[in-house]
């Protein structure tokens, strides 16, 4: 039996964890995303692997590239 793919990260995910989840599940390649947000592929790959974080403005560009926005829970 195959596990169903979830459409969202866990509700308890941090902002970095959520960005990593969406990045891993993106149909766009990491090479293309790194080009679009203006960082090296190596930097994006380190972020994806969890060994490095991203600066706030880079996180903003990544979220925009992935078509994400921050929404407050009610």
Domain extent, residue 54, equals 26-65
Distance between CA atoms of residues 67 and 61, nearest Å: 10
Tally of structural domains, the chain = 1
pLDDT given at position 20 = 95
Domain annotation covers residue 49:
yes
More confident position, 71 or 21 = 21
Domain annotation covers residue 37:
yes
Q: What are phi and psi of 34, to 5 degrees?
A: -60, -40
Collect all residues with Cβ–Cβ distance below 8 Å to 52 and sequence separation of at least 6.
Answer: 43, 46
The predicted model scores a pTM of 0.82
Residues 1-54: pLDDT tens digits? 555 567 888 888 899 999 999 999 999 999 999 999 999 999 999 999 999 999
Domain annotation covers residue 33:
yes
Domain annotation covers residue 54:
yes
Domain annotation covers residue 71:
no
Domain annotation covers residue 21:
no
């Amino acid at each position: 039996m195959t596990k169903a793919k979830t459409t969202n990260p866990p509700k308890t995910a941090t902002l970095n964890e959520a960005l990593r989840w969406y990045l891993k599940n993106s149909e766009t390649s990491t090479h293309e995303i790194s080009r679009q947000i203006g960082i090296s592929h190596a930097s994006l790959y380190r972020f994806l692997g969890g060994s490095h974080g991203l600066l706030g403005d880079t996180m903003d560009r990544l979220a925009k590239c992935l078509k994400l926005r921050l929404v407050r829970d009610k």
